[in-house]
Amino acid sequence: MNSFSSLLQENRVFSPHEDFSSKANISSFPQYDELRNKANSNILNHWNEQAMNLHWFTPWDTILNWNFPTAQWFTEGTINASYNCLDIHLQTANRNKEAIVWEREDGITASYTYAELHERVSAFAYSLQSLGITKGETITIYMGMNPEAIIAMLACARIGVVHNVVFGGFSSDALKDRINDSQSVCVITQSTTKRRGNDVALFDAVSNVLPFCPTIRHIICKQKPDLSTHDITIPIIDWDEFIHHEHQLEAIPLPSEHPLFYLYTSGSTGKPKGLVHTTGGYLTHVRYSFSLVFDPKPDDMYFCTADIGWITGHSYVVYGPLMHGMTILIYEGALNHPHPGKIWELIQHHKASILYTAPTAIRAFMSAGNDIPHSFDLSSLRLLGTVGEPINPEAWMWYHTIIGNSTCPIVDTWWQTETGGIMISPVPGAIPTKPGTATIPLPGILADVVRKDGKSASANEGGYLVVKHPWPGMARTIFGDDERYTSVYWSEFPPNSEHNGMYFTGDGARKDDDGYFWIMGRVDDVVNVSGHRLGTAEIESALVSHPSIAEAAVVAKPDDIKGNALIAFVTVMKDRSIDLDALKNVLINHVAKEIGSIAKPDDIRFTESLPKTRSGKIMRRLLREIVTGGVISGDTTTLEDFSALEKLRSDED
């Protein structure tokens, strides 16, 4: 592994590079400061101005209706997301500009101009409508990273159908839960997608769960599968036969608060929750943040490596860049396949100018050595971004030096599925950066670090990361569970005599002497693995659903590449005589089947019992200490014995 530690001085500051700043929309700190002061002194006016940059069919009458903790933005206004991504470009120079450039692992490529994308989306929307799918109903999209997935999203948006994209890496069981919870009436999928040389059978997963998904009326499938081996009672509609190019549907004006999508994400308890994002406010926040953070230029080739199954894919692969008329580059497959430098080859070949990716990916490419990126021409890059987890300063320096040639600014962007869009990030032409911090909140976003009593923490004092004023991209609720929404996000800091209530992010953070935010990770039982968010409770319930397992506790262990690894402690059913080594693999595969490969524990440790407090709570802190400090050996062939730790029980009560 390269060591950039020598280059790292404590709190080293990188001023925006002159080459970048001289062409940036916001090119100096004073210019930024003026914008921030104006925005933060009148937040509603700020968002009002930002909303005016979108196309509305009818104007709004109220900027914000705030009834803690329920927000409605731009009420009475009518708008359409698909119109703002496509139709607005048709009379401009963007009409014949490429909107999507797509490559697949096996070398297949395609591209669509804005006019072509508009045509396909309008035709697909027409066909959806002719199936009788109507405004407010939900469609689950379960596809790989290809133009069809984006066409499906935008076609839903065009007619007010709520899209619910499920990451193609999730298992059929996870898919089933998301279809049923969202009450989807249709699934749009494809026969197979490519991943590291394998064909991932998406249609088969859909077909397996169909008998358990009573709300589904239709399935639309790209590359019609061989149905002889399936026993399916509803018709499978072939994507290509479904689109009739002679039928084009106009975008429907929708109320600003009409739901645009649900997106499921893990929490600290129970099943994943479907966050509800609506139209007008979400688009306003995403358009604004994209413009500030990515400083878009007409000739950019924009490459965000996120999958559309995650919020980054929604906001900064699809909606943000398309509203700005960008050309987006998407890749269906693994970025180090068919060769370890594939990501750099894509940048060289397509002359990508902006790269937005996750620290995990950066660390993995860093560990593969500098020769690989050095053998490609990366001089087209002008801006680099990261998202999803804290970036360690070594990886930041490598990204800056080896990929960015020491000239590209790095935007470390902090946000969440719940926030809809970027909240804390440098504005690249104006804000000096420091490796490892997302710097300061965007103008109009009132983020802070507070103590348990809600008062602001002092400089360098660790505390809870909160947001003190509603913002337009915020999730409105958890689908079907308003109470859970209130209790998860708004009950930690409810309104009192000192403040009007604050949104709690679930993250711990500190602000340094310059007011820069350093994210210290989750303070709840959510673990960030490779930039993906997983609930330990979910993985534990997958483990105990196996007949051999009595109890399970999952904790995170720091990992050089993935940020965190998952270690599961389990107790086996008493009546079983079991080969523990074999069981370990069975359990790992069982979790992959229940949730998906991303949730696979990195290690399973068998124990006689789990250490518990007198009131019966599992002592997770102790387990975390064990996995980080190696207090107990990880010999998997014998059961671990925590009896020596019994005396610690009283400390935890």
Residues that bind ligand WT7 (CB under 6 A): 265, 310-312, 387-390, 412-417, 438, 505-507, 519, 522, 528, 533
Sign of CA dihedral 182, 188, 192, 198: negative
Contacts of 617 (CB under 8 A, 6+ apart): 652
* Residue in 370, 331, 346 with CA at minimum distance from that of residue 196: 331
Question: Closest CB to ligand WT7 among 134 and 460?
Answer: 460
Q: Shortest Cβ distance from residue 505 to ligand WT7 (Å)? A: 6
Question: Closest CB to ligand WT7 among 222 and 533?
Answer: 533
User: Hey, what's the torsion of the CAs at 241, 168, 540, 208, to 10 degrees?
Assistant: 30
Tokens linked to 359: 């620290």
Question: Closest CB to ligand WT7 among 141 and 317?
Answer: 317
Given strand 98-104, what is the order of strands in its sheet? Answer: 109-113, 98-104, 327-332, 301-304, 354-357, 383-387, 410-413
Q: Shortest Cβ distance from residue 132 to ligand WT7 (Å)? A: 34
Q: Shortest Cβ distance from residue 181 to ligand WT7 (Å)? A: 17
User: Hey, what's the torsion of the CAs at 381, 387, 389, 392, to 10 degrees?
Assistant: 20
Q: Shortest Cβ distance from residue 620 to ligand WT7 (Å)? A: 18
CA 298, CA 524: separation in Å to the nearest integer?
42
Question: Closest CB to ligand WT7 among 170 and 569?
Answer: 170
CA 209, CA 172: separation in Å to the nearest integer?
6
Question: Closest CB to ligand WT7 among 319 and 415?
Answer: 415
* Residue in 502, 634, 623 with CA at minimum distance from that of residue 580: 634
* Preceding omega of 272 cis (within 30 degrees of 0): no
User: Hey, what's the torsion of the CAs at 604, 608, 614, 619, to 10 degrees?
Assistant: -20
Question: Closest CB to ligand WT7 among 321 and 506?
Answer: 506
Question: Closest CB to ligand WT7 among 249 and 293?
Answer: 293
Phi, psi of 561 (to 5 degrees): -100, -50
CA 298, CA 25: separation in Å to the nearest integer?
13
Q: Shortest Cβ distance from residue 518 to ligand WT7 (Å)? A: 9
Q: Shortest Cβ distance from residue 646 to ligand WT7 (Å)? A: 34
Question: Closest CB to ligand WT7 among 164 and 413?
Answer: 413
528 alpha-carbon distance from chain centroid: 11
Question: Closest CB to ligand WT7 among 316 and 569?
Answer: 316
CA 472, CA 53: separation in Å to the nearest integer?
14
CA 160, CA 261: separation in Å to the nearest integer?
10
Question: Closest CB to ligand WT7 among 8 and 236?
Answer: 8
Question: Closest CB to ligand WT7 among 32 and 503?
Answer: 503
Q: Shortest Cβ distance from residue 536 to ligand WT7 (Å)? A: 14
Q: Shortest Cβ distance from residue 544 to ligand WT7 (Å)? A: 24
Contacts of 511 (CB under 8 A, 6+ apart): 449, 457, 459, 460, 517, 518
**Contact, 170 vs 264, CB < 8 A?**
no
Q: Shortest Cβ distance from residue 389 to ligand WT7 (Å)? A: 5
Which amino acid belongs to residue 503?
A: Y
Question: Closest CB to ligand WT7 among 77 and 359?
Answer: 359
CA 522, CA 465: separation in Å to the nearest integer?
10
What distances in angstroms separate CA 102 from CA 233, 385, 409, 584, one per listed residue?
Answer: 34, 20, 26, 39
Q: Shortest Cβ distance from residue 274 to ligand WT7 (Å)? A: 13
Q: Shortest Cβ distance from residue 316 to ligand WT7 (Å)? A: 9
Neighbours of 110 (CB within 10 A): 12
Q: Shortest Cβ distance from residue 286 to ligand WT7 (Å)? A: 12
Sign of CA dihedral 20, 23, 28, 32: negative
Tokens linked to 444: 């109009």
Distance between first and last Cα of the chain: 43
Q: Shortest Cβ distance from residue 221 to ligand WT7 (Å)? A: 28
Neighbours of 392 (CB within 10 A): 16
Question: Closest CB to ligand WT7 among 161 and 475?
Answer: 475
Phi, psi of 348 (to 5 degrees): -65, -50
Q: Shortest Cβ distance from residue 403 to ligand WT7 (Å)? A: 17
Q: Shortest Cβ distance from residue 509 to ligand WT7 (Å)? A: 9
Question: Closest CB to ligand WT7 among 449 and 570?
Answer: 449
- Give SS3 for 555: strand
Tokens 């692969």 appear where?
A: 317
Question: Closest CB to ligand WT7 among 69 and 506?
Answer: 506
